[in-house]
Amino acid sequence: MRKQPLASLHSDGDTDFTLLIDGQWRAAADRRVFHAHDPFLEQDWGRIAQATKSDVDAAVNAALKAFDDRRWSGLLASQRAACLYRLADLIERDMPALVTQQICENGKLIGEMSGVTAAVAADARFFAGLAEAHNGSSVPSSRPNFTTFTLREPIGVCAAITPWNTPLGLLGWKLFPALAAGNTIVIKPSEITPTSTLMLAALAAQAGIPDGVVNVVTGDGTVGSALVQHPDVAKIAFTGSTSTGQQIASQAALRSARVSLELGGKSPNIIFADADIDQAVSGVMAGVFAASGQSCMAGSRVLVQRPVYERVCEQLAERGQRMCVGDPFDPATELNPLASRMQLERVLRYFDVAREEGLHCLTGGHRMDCTGYFVAPTVYRDVTDDSRLFREEIFGPVAVVTPFDSESDAIELANRTRYGLAAGIWTQDIKRAHRLLHAVRAGTVWINNYRVVGHTLPFGGMGQSGIGREMGAAALDAYTELKSVWIDTGNDVVFKTGGEH
């Protein structure tokens, strides 16, 4: 039998999944709900609270009170770390349920969702370990008779606004450093994937994190917007589309709130003629067809050196056609549905654009004839840099393939984008790999691999792919303010060394 999601969490009358505010689970103030929806079955399954502005105010007030009375930041860093370690254990205990919940929300494959959810526990432990180690520094004074140093202090109430493609993974990248540093938080998950976030928040309470420190408001973009505009939200961490991120940044700028943005991408995957072509094609497939292309780091522009161009085009088309479509819970399935009807319609519109532009489609370019929001793995060849499909993020299983001749042509094509999230380079020439990794403008560069991430290395983008970095030890800096301290030590004291006695 197919795995079933948790159908309710702290339900209240007509609301199956309620808001978490100050440790209390409650329906929206006006009791409005929206539905969870399974994109494989094309069926609604749960009623979730659509928060009002007054719910957002209540959540921010609770987070502010919890911050001001120091019930979290006043703990020893080791005590905060202990809570995060317990939370990691609880995430591992409930892993199967958390994985099932996310699959029933966004339709991604069980292999992918299991991997990213296991990483959430590892991420929690990473930031727990850093909680005590993260500090300011002792600084030599530039003036006589002063002792000077810096302190790292929490910022206050943080907002985490997350997308649907990797609900818990991208939440953990914000939640754990925020908590490790002593902040309180209000989370606004995507309206497509809210229930797994509520489950994680319930585990945070079980782990001993005090009431009011972690709050969750669910609903659409209006809820996120109310959070962004709230005067008591000191920092906003956002992952999502570039257009929403830019709107958030401009609203936050009006009151000097801190912002970190992880936005879209149109990343190049560059194959040189000297590469191991079979390995490179596998990397390209994983880069653009994994998660049906619904990945910010999708390697959706495939740049291929002329001598191997025909071979790569052929292999991509042939392997794309062979991908196994089916239930995301079946480990044999290779292609999952898109996460929503809206996303499906968005991708189908790009197929219309491709037809209008007269692009040469090698395979795909249509919705699949089955239940679920599936589109066929799609490959367009000979796509030039003036095509909208070369320039715009599609967020679907759509690869555009472009030939190049020289290394400098490859660099120029790779950088011809407003984005700069990631890049893949396939070559066996180590000197070329080193030249390229400097020349390509991207927050992450993969040499002979693609789409690998882990908690010790920062992740984020250049250009319109975002501002700031998540993960890596430096991620904690983004959740702290730096305070400089000058201590007047009085008049000169003559120090005598022991050697004079």
Residue 184 interacting with ligand NAD (CB under 6 A): no
Query: Per CB under 6 A, does 164 bind ligand NAD?
Result: yes
Residue 350 interacting with ligand NAD (CB under 6 A): no
Binders of ligand NAD among residues 90 to 129 (CB under 6 A) are none
- The window from 13-21, 51-59, 259-267, 303-311 that contacts ligand NAD (CB under 6 A) reads 259-267
**Which residue has 């494959």 as its token pair?**
109
Least CB distance to ligand NAD at residue 20 (A): 16
Catalytic residue numbers, as ranges? 262, 296
Q: Which residues pair with 20 in a beta bridge?
A: 25, 216
Phi, psi dihedral angles at 206 (to 5 degrees): -60, -30
Q: Which of 191, 204, 235, 359 binds ligand NAD (CB under 6 A)?
A: 191
Answer yes or no: are the C-beta atoms of 264 and 393 closer than 8 Å: yes
Instruction: By CB under 6 A, name the one of 228, 354, 359, 476 that touches ligand NAD.
Output: 228
Shortest spacing between CB 376 and ligand NAD, in angstroms: 21
Minimum CB–partner distance for residue 215 and ligand NAD (Å): 15
Rounded to 5 degrees, φ, ψ at 198 are -65, -40
* Stretch in the footprint of ligand NAD (CB under 6 A) among 80-88, 146-154, 156-164, 326-334: 156-164
User: Where does this chain touch ligand NAD (CB under 6 A) — which range of 7-15, 184-192, 270-278, 422-430?
Assistant: 184-192
SS3 annotation, 200-253: HHHHHHHCCCCCCCEEECCCCHHHHHHHHCCCCCCEEEEECCHHHHHHHHHHHH
User: Structure tokens of 464?
Assistant: 């319109």
Considering the rule CB under 6 A, would residue 248 count as an interface residue with ligand NAD? yes
Instruction: Give me the residues paired with residue 216 across strands.
Output: 20, 187
In whole angstroms, give the CA distance from residue 433 to residue 216.
44
Among 100-108, 124-132, 164-172, 477-485, which window interacts with ligand NAD (CB under 6 A)?
164-172
Binding to ligand NAD, residues 460-489 (CB under 6 A): 461, 466
Q: How far apart are CA 316 and CA 299, in angstroms?
A: 13
Tell me: does residue 287 bind ligand NAD (CB under 6 A). Answer: no
128 in Cβ contact with 181 (< 8 Å): no
Least distance (Å) from ligand NAD to the CB of residue 379?
A: 20
Q: Decide if residue 170 touches ligand NAD (CB under 6 A).
A: yes
Does 319 sit near ligand NAD (CB under 6 A)?
no
Using the rule CB under 6 A, is 225 a contact of ligand NAD?
A: yes
Write out the H or E segment, with its range, that includes residue 485. strand 480-488
Minimum CB separation of residue 358 from ligand NAD in Å reads 26
**Cα dihedral angle (263, 264, 269, 270), rounded to 10 degrees?**
-80
Number of Cβ within 10 Å of residue 356's Cβ equals 9
CA nearest to 247, candidates 268, 261, 234, 235: 261
Site string for ligand NAD, 201-220 (x = CB under 6 A): -------------------x
Q: Are 355 and 313 in contact (CB under 8 A)?
A: no
DSSP letter at 400 equals E
Distance, in Å, from the CA atom of 388 to the CA atom of 75, rounded to the nearest integer, reads: 52
**What's the closest the beta carbon of residue 265 comes to ligand NAD, in angstroms?**
6
CB 365 within 8 A of CB 397: no
Stretch that binds ligand NAD, among 89-97, 186-194, 368-376, 444-452 (CB under 6 A): 186-194
Single out the residue of 262, 272, 299, 380 in contact with ligand NAD (rule: CB under 6 A): 262
* Chain position whose Cβ is nearest to ligand NAD: 224
Residue 294 CA to residue 265 CA, distance in Å, equals: 11
Return the number of the residue (93 or 341) whose C-beta is nearest ligand NAD: 341
- Single out the segment in contact with ligand NAD by CB under 6 A; choices: 106-114, 132-140, 256-264, 326-334: 256-264
Instruction: List, in sequence order, the alpha helices (H) in 69-194.
Output: 77-93, 95-106, 110-131, 167-180
The backbone torsions φ and ψ at residue 183, rounded to the nearest 5 degrees and listed phi first, read: -80, 165
Judged by CB under 6 A, does residue 240 bind ligand NAD? Answer: yes
Does residue number 283 form part of the binding site for ligand NAD (CB under 6 A)?
no
Does 49 help bind ligand NAD (rule: CB under 6 A)? no
Cβ atoms within 10 A of the Cβ of 258, count?
Answer: 17
Answer left, alpha or beta for residue 495, where phi above 0 means left and psi between -120 and 50 means alpha. Answer: beta
Tell me which residues touch ligand NAD (CB under 6 A). Answer: 161-165, 170, 188, 190-191, 220-221, 224-225, 228, 239-241, 244, 247-248, 262-265, 296, 393, 395, 421, 461, 466
